[in-house]
Amino acid sequence: MENIPLARPTELYDAYLFDLDGTIYLGEELLPGARRMIEELRRRDIPVRFLSNNPTKAPTQYAEKLERLGLPTALPDIANTVATMVNFLLANHRDAVVFPIAEQPLIDALEAAGIAMSDDPARIDIVIASYDRGFDYRKLQIAFDAIWFHKRAFLVATNPDRYCPFPGGRGEPDCAAIVAAIEACTGTTCRQIVGKPDPNMVTQALAGLDVDPARCVMVGDRLGTDIELAVRASMPSAMTLTGDSTLDDVAAAPVDHRPTYILERIDQLIPAHVWDELGWTADETHA
């Protein structure tokens, strides 16, 4: 297999978008170098935004977690698929009745936005598949009846992730598993996935910033979501080897779908000459 070299940026960019799980932290711990890297970008007044495909938490919960981990972050600097799904529905299907197969943060956000919800298949216009640890046969039957029997509803999803990684190499089935179950029994195809790699995530994250996406780096650990988002949005990208995707995965990917940069640790996003100026060393215990 092709030998893929590590590569780090030689310059600082105008803005940075960061995935969270597997990129900035894993579980309840910041990954090595994350704190000093974010703090250095902020010290230079370079905009930093965080993106997540995990719809089981509201943006407020991400803000609370980052605060707890020592990275206080303003709420507008966080975008996840709870907000993206609500914005998608308000912009395109404001009057639709939806059936969310989802956890409470998305349900609460839909209610707050005034979006009608129902579990009556005869009333449902849109079935929303999401990361739902309460998914059961009842929910599958409602989706089936709304889409297959009544032939009135279509399927959308919050994110395309197959699983959510956990510390220690474990994981949990994610939204794609629920989408697959609904597609398998109904014969339908999911019409819209609003999370990464949909470029709408970039639009939402950069709202209010006068930044050319070509001068903004998307940073993450997954080829199929984080790096693919950068490809679709015509942005440079950086992939960390601290999460899901590996060098072998990069080697197996088409050249035009590979990351611009590949980093062993997240603070290598800061160019080597800046490390020298700051006196940084590769201390693996340095957060």
Which of 193, 212, 234 is a domain's end point?
Answer: 193
In the predicted structure, residue 229 carries a pLDDT above the cut 70:
yes
Question: 230 and 174 share a domain?
Answer: no
Question: 209 and 187 share a domain?
Answer: no
Indicate the number of domains in the chain.
Answer: 2
* Share of residues in the chain with pLDDT > 90 (%): 84
Tens-place pLDDT, residues 196-226: 999 988 988 888 899 999 999 999 999 999 9
Closest CA to 4 of 244, 250, 227: 250
For residues 243 and 165, the answer to whether their CB atoms sit within 8 Å is yes
- CATH number of the domain to which 168 belongs: 3.40.50.1000
Question: 37 and 22 share a domain?
Answer: yes
Identify the pLDDT of residue 286.
Answer: 56
Amino acid at 122: A
Residue 205, token pair as written in the block: 């994250």
In a domain, 258, yes or no: yes
SS3 state of residue 239: strand
* Mean pLDDT of the chain, nearest integer: 94
Range of the domain at 250: 15-53+196-278
Tens-place pLDDT, residues 238-261: 999 998 899 999 999 999 999 999
DSSP per-residue string spanning 134-199? T--HHHHHHHHIIIIIS---EEEES---SEEE-GGG-EEE-HHHHHHHHHHHH-----EE-STTST
Long-range contacts of 184-187, Cβ-Cβ distance < 8 Å, separation of 24 or more:
185/140, 185/144, 185/148, 186/143, 186/144, 186/147, 186/148, 186/155, 187/148
Confidence of residue 168 (pLDDT cuts 50, 70, 90): confident
Question: 118 and 175 share a domain?
Answer: yes
In the predicted structure, residue 88 carries a pLDDT above the cut 80:
yes
In a domain, 31, yes or no: yes
Find the mean pLDDT for residues 78-93.
93
